[in-house]
């Protein structure tokens, strides 16, 4: 092992880095990932204060939240393919610069439109960063055992970011304005650029083949339309939304064209033949399934804690922390545990664990308590620790020259899992809440327009109950929401257990992520 490693790779094969430099690279890559995942949830806390100052319409509020993930999902594949050709380190540093620069623009944001534009730019930066953090870990760590450990750190930090977001957001809002939720990214990204220049190696594919511009457009437009349609179905809690149905059909058709084009190409934009490797497929299914449960559970439970149980945003952030902690511990424990009982058992068992966590919420007799919710969340968090093994299986099942493709597919599965979780489980919850609350008979004597708003969301129902001085209305809305969330927990838990069985039978027996790649 060279004590004076060269900073670049001239072709596909990476020049070995010293042990200290490898782990320093992991710290840079995971720190930047922490910022990206934190940014997905930090805004949920800042939104009410931002709305009070900028007065966005309800549609604009949705775009402020959604535009980030829409653009991120649409660009992941293209940016991973560009990075393979141009250089992964260059792409990552450009992503850091765009993310930090866009965050700084919030100082000049004085309208909802400007915040939407900034969130869009953050999505572009995030799409440059997320898959590259994975592909660089795959390239830097040639030893599979070391790589499994590095990926478990990556998975632990990814989970931490999502849970730390609301806590940091709440603390920032205690002392600063909502602008701080953006500005916190600036020094972190600046540090990332400096550390990246000094520590990270360059890596690119020696003969990547020609760039397929048509496939890039198909993946961008198809993925964006599909994600937007699923989000719209979720928000309306109905499939009878003509524009979303059209978008879904168009998105699915474009992605089908994209898949056919990639399968027929000698140099595909996205190497879909990776799915022929069963361990790779199992890792992707587990990634999609785990985020499906985690994101939906966090969304519903954060609302329950604040609107039903009366927690402040900071208190809710603190109460959600066991998820992150359990996820981080489970991620770090996953590789050694896989050595003992096998990767297949750890991966499927983790997804099953998350499913049990969701069932606990649904099956508690009597009134749902905060203790039950925290125990359930700890199970869900511990279950997502299996993603460390999922990540290792995805990277283990892909050759080094396809590391960018593997990273893009893994990140896309996270994005899709999150969107589907919120849409499907969120819709089930909204429909059940509406049915029970409307059937209570308490809305009979109030203005039909207010009654309709109360049925739309728990937040609206509580605000209207306060306005009308009807505590009985607020109580009934809380009870209806809790029952809906519990029923959703049973549905989500059942889906997760089914995914766990699928993952178990898809993973080849004897899969070892610490063995040498073939």
15 — pLDDT class (breaks 50, 70, 90):
low
**Quick one: pLDDT at residue 14?**
46
Cα separation, 255 vs 258, in Å, equals: 5
Which token pair is 496? 């997760």
**H or E element that contains 496:** helix 471-506
Question: Average per-residue pLDDT in the chain?
Answer: 84
The total of other beta-carbon atoms located within 10 Å of residue 433's CB is 25
Distance in angstroms (rounded) separating the CA atoms of residues 331 and 76: 24
**Calpha distance 198→28 (Å, rounded):** 10
- Angle between helical axes of 471-506 and 278-303 (0-180°, round to 10): 170
pLDDT confidence bin for 94, thresholds 50/70/90:
very high
CA distances from 517 to 141, 400, 468, 513 (A): 12, 10, 66, 8
| Contact (CB, 8 A) for 262 and 216 | no
CA 194 distance to own-chain centroid:
26
Quick one: which of 335, 25, 348, 320 has its CA closest to 161? 320
Q: Which is nearest to 302 in space by CA: 193, 163, 175, 405?
A: 163
**Residue 18 is encoded by which pair of tokens?**
């010293």
Rounded percentage of the chain residues whose pLDDT exceeds 70? 95
- Assign domain 14-206 to its CATH superfamily: MFS general substrate transporter like domains (1.20.1250.20)
| Angle (deg, nearest 10), helices 58-86 and 19-54 | 160
What letters, b where the CB count within 10 A reaches 16 and e where it falls short, cover 157-196?
A: bbbbbbbbbbbbbbbbbeeeebbbbbbbbbebbebbbebb
What is the distance of C-alpha 90 from the center of its chain?
24
| Cα–Cα distance for residue pair 332/343, rounded to 1 Å | 14
Q: Is the distance from CB of 327 to CB of 163 less than 8 angstroms?
A: yes
Query: Is the separation of the CB atoms in 311 and 374 below 8 Å?
Result: no
Q: What is the pLDDT of residue 52?
A: 79
Question: What Å distances lie between residue 79 and 51, 70, 118, 493, CA to CA?
Answer: 32, 15, 19, 34
Q: Name the one residue in this structure whose structure tokens are 């649904």.
A: 362
pLDDT in tens, 112-164: 899 999 999 999 999 999 888 888 888 888 888 888 888 888 888 877 777 77
> Which CATH architecture describes the domain 273-518?
Up-down Bundle (1.20)
So where are the chain's domains?
14-206, 212-268, 273-518
Instruction: Report CA torsion sign: 223, 229, 230, 231.
Output: positive
Q: Would the CA dihedral through 10, 15, 18, 19 be positive or negative?
A: positive
pLDDT at 8 over 50: no
Measured over the CA atoms of residue 112, residue 38, residue 488 and residue 360, the dihedral's sign is negative
Distance CA(14)–CA(61), nearest Å, equals 45
* Averaged pLDDT, 364-386: 84
Cα–Cα distance between 292 and 343 in angstroms, integer?
Answer: 21
pTM equals 0.82
d(CA 231, CA 315): 28
Please work out, in degrees rounded to the nearest 5, the angle formed at the alpha carbon of residue 122 by the alpha carbons of 120 and 126. 120
What pLDDT is attached to residue 3? Answer: 40
CA distance 139 to 148: 13
pLDDT at 471: 85
Whole-number pLDDT of residue 515:
66
Q: 14-206 and 273-518: same fold?
A: yes
Q: What is the pLDDT of residues 342-353, one digit of tens each?
A: 889 999 999 998
**Which helix (H) or strand (E) covers residue 252, if one does?**
helix 242-264
Instruction: Take residue 471 and report the two structure tokens written for it.
Output: 């505590």
- The predicted pLDDT at position 258 comes to 93
- Residue pair 147/96 in contact (Cβ under 8 Å)? The answer is no
Digit-coded pLDDT (tens) for 300-337: 887 888 888 888 777 877 887 787 788 888 888 888 88
């Amino acid at each position: 092992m060279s004590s004076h490693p060269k900073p670049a790779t001239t072709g596909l094969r990476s020049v070995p880095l010293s042990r200290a430099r490898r782990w320093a690279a992991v710290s840079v890559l995971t720190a930047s990932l922490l910022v990206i995942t934190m940014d997905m949830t930090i805004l949920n806390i800042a939104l009410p204060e931002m709305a009070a100052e900028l007065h966005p319409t309800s549609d604009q509020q949705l775009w402020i939240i959604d535009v980030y993930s829409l653009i991120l999902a649409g660009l992941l594949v293209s940016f991973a393919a560009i990075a393979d050709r141009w250089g992964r380190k260059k792409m990552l540093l450009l992503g850091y610069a765009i993310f930090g620069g866009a965050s700084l623009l919030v100082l000049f944001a004085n309208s909802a439109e400007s915040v939407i534009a900034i969130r869009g730019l953050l999505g572009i930066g995030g799409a440059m960063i997320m898959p590259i953090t994975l592909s660089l870990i795959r390239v830097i760590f040639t030893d599979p055992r070391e790589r499994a450990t590095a990926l478990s750190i990556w998975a632990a930090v990814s989970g931490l970011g999502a849970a730390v977001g609301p806590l940091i957001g709440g603390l920032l809002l205690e002392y600063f304005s909502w602008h701080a939720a953006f500005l916190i990214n600036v020094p972190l990204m600046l540090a990332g650029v400096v550390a990246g220049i000094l520590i990270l190696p360059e890596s690119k594919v020696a003969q990547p083949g020609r760039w397929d511009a048509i496939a890039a457009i198909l993946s961008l437009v198809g993925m964006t339309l599909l994600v937007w349609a699923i989000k719209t179905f979720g928000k309306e809690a109905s499939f009878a939304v003509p524009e979303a149905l059209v978008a879904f059909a168009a998105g699915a058709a474009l992605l089908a064209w994209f898949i056919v084009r990639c399968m027929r190409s000698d140099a595909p934009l996205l190497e879909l033949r990776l799915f022929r490797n069963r361990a790779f497929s199992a890792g992707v299914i587990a990634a999609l399934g785990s985020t499906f449960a985690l994101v939906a559970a966090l969304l519903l439970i954060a609302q329950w804690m604040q609107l039903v149980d009366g927690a402040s945003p900071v208190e809710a952030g603190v109460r959600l922390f066991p998820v992150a902690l359990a996820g981080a511990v489970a991620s770090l424990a996953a590789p050694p545990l896989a050595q003992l009982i096998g990767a297949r058992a750890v991966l499927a068992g983790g997804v099953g664990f998350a499913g049990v966590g969701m069932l606990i919420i649904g099956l508690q007799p009597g009134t749902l308590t905060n203790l039950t919710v925290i125990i359930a969340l700890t199970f869900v968090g511990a279950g997502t620790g299996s993603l460390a093994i999922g990540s290792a299986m995805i990277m283990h099942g892909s050759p080094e020259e396809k590391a960018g493709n593997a990273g893009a597919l893994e990140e896309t599965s996270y994005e899709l899992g999150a969107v589907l979780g919120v849409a499907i489980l969120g819709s089930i919850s909204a429909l059940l809440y509406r049915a029970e609350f409307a059937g209570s008979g308490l809305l009979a004597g109030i203005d039909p327009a207010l009654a309709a708003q109360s049925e739309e969301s728990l937040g609206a129902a509580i605000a209207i109950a306060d306005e009308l001085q009807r505590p009985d209305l607020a109580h009934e809305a809380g009870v209806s929401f809790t029952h809906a969330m519990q029923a959703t927990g049973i549905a989500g838990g059942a889906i997760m257990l089914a995914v766990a069985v699928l993952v178990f039978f898809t993973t080849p027996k004897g899969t070892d992520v610490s063995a040498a790649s073939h």
